[in-house]
Structure 1
Amino acid sequence: MSEEVTYADIKFHDSSKTENIQEFDQLGIKVYITLKTEVGKLNELQNFKEELQRNISIQLMHNMNNSEKIRNLSITLQEIATKLCHELYRNNQEHKCKPCPKQWIWHEDSCYVLLEGYKAWQKSEKICSSHNASLLKIKNKSVLEFIKSRRLRAYWLGLSPRKDYTPSKLLDETIISSDWFRSNTNDLINGKYCGYIHDLYVYYDECTSLKNAVCEKLANPVKIESTLMKEVPDGGM
């Protein structure tokens, strides 16, 4: 009788172990399936992320290309407006597209004004400064030919004052000079000599002498809308 009980007990315990193993296997399968599912989702997210990054990169490149095209188009429009304004300026020197103040002369990318009224060199320089300009400095052949065509007489130039008298020379020889004025002179010592233009020559005279002056400053960019848009007649809608 005791052997049967013992066998039954052993059989019972073996049955419990088998059930535990089966439950463990089932749990393992569930864990495996869960992990596999999550790994699949993670891979999908990774693929989505990579695809999103590719799309963003493509969009950024597209935007950069568009920005470059827009920039190039703006430059082209500005060049067209400037050329057109030059043509309009030839017919009407006070056309609204002119990038210089009234009474100023426009040449290439600069504005020039002739100040008639005899003043000392230092006073003339200060007057130019009050207009955010400076006394004329001729530094290239285009400006040289432009100024020669004006046939100016007794106009101060933006040449640095000199201690000693300097003989006159042709205006053509001045553009290669390193003597162009570079800074303000607050206290001009009497006895110095300043350069001025007279016809096709540059002369030097005492800086306290009285002469006219010609100022220059950088022209503003031509406004595209003021050039390309058709003017509305007075009284028009």
Structure 2
Amino acid sequence: MQAKHSSARDMLEDDADTATSLYSRASTALQAESGRSDARTPSSAWRPVALTLLTLCLVLLVGLVVLGLLFFQFYHLSNTQQDSISQQEESLRNLSRQLRSLQVQNGELAERLCRELYNRSGEHRCSPCPEKWKWHGDKCYQFYKESKSWQGCEYLCIAENSTMLKINSQEKLDFAMPHSYSEFFYSYWMGLSRNSSGKAWLWTDGTPRSSELFEIMIDASTSRHRDCVTILNGRAFSKDCRELRRCACEKKAGSVVAEHLL
């Protein structure tokens, strides 16, 4: 009887040990599963964030590509426009040069035609000189009939925005001397004088006279200073600057106006 009870206790103890062992294994398995579940939980939480960041990176990359394409197109368009502007500027410069050339040619043609019309009648409204002034070469000349001292004539010419007559070339000599002929001995002062006897003859602009063009007739029979020059009947004479003589002035001619040719 005791042997049966002892055997039963042993069996119960074995069952208890087995149950304890099974419980321990089950508990260990549950803990391991719980650990794996806890380990997977953070990874699952970061997946949406990672996908969002990846999407943003792709959007930024696409944006950079689009901006790059736009910049390239703008740069290409800018270079094209710059080349077009440069070509247009060069074309304008060429047209401007051609226009200036045509204006010069037109001016020369108008001047030749006006000079022919002027030489036929002695005057024409196309003349580049003021009214009653004589046109010769690139100058305008006026031979006044009123008489003044040499200095008075200088002031008169200045008031007319001109200077006293200056004969410094054969062409001007051939033009001016015929105007000096007068049956009443009306001579004209020209802009030639000297400071005192023996000094060099100078024009009003300070340039010296060319002795090869004309000779100055000096009257040595008088003691008065004869330091200013007049022209009379094709010859030049030294006279007292205070004497009253007619005035001869000259100025630069203007441009011929083509519309005045008609």
Output the TM-score relative to the length of structure 1. 0.80
- Is residue 52 of structure 2 the alignment partner of residue 23 of structure 1? yes
Say whether 1:144 aligns with 2:178. no
The yes-or-no answer on 1:55 pairing with 2:84 is yes
Number of residue pairs aligned between Structure 1 and Structure 2: 212
CA drift at 1:141: 2.5
Q: Is the 8 A contact 2:148 2:244 kept in 1?
A: yes
Between 155-164 and 8-17, report the one with greater CA deviation. 8-17
Instruction: Map 1:1-237 to 2 at 5 A.
Output: 1-152=30-181, 154-164=187-197, 179-182=202-205, 191=225, 193-227=227-261, 230=262
Q: What amino acid maps onto 1:194 in structure 2?
A: C
TM-score, scaled to structure 2: 0.73
Q: Distance in 1 between matches of 2:133 and 2:159?
A: 14
Q: What is the root-mean-square deviation in Å for CA atoms of aligned residues? A: 2.3
- Deviation of residue 201 (structure 1)? 2.8
Amino acid at match of 1:164: S
1:196, 1:34 → 2: CA distance?
93
Distance of 1:151 and 1:128 partners within structure 2:
18
**AA matched with 2:83:** R
Flag structure 1 segments of 5+ consecutive residues without an equivalent: 167-176, 184-189, 231-237
Higher helix share: 2
- Give the letter for the 1:159 counterpart: L
Separation of aligned partners in 2, 1:27 and 1:55? 41
Aligned 8 A contact 1:161 1:207 in 2 = no
Identity %: 28
Aligned AA for 1:199? Answer: N
- Point out 4+ residue stretches in structure 1 off by more than 4 angstroms: none
Q: Secondary structure at the match of 1:25?
A: helix
Higher RCO by CA contacts (8 Å cutoff, separation 6 or greater): 1
* Equivalent-residue separation in structure 1 for 2:230 and 2:74 (angstroms): 78
What SS does the corresponding residue of 2:166 show, helix, strand or coil?
Answer: coil
Q: Deviations over 1:27-55 (max 9, x none)?
A: 21221111111111111111111112111
Tell me if structure 2 keeps the 8 A contact 1:157–1:214: yes
Whether the 8 Å contact between 2:194 and 2:201 is mirrored in structure 1 is no
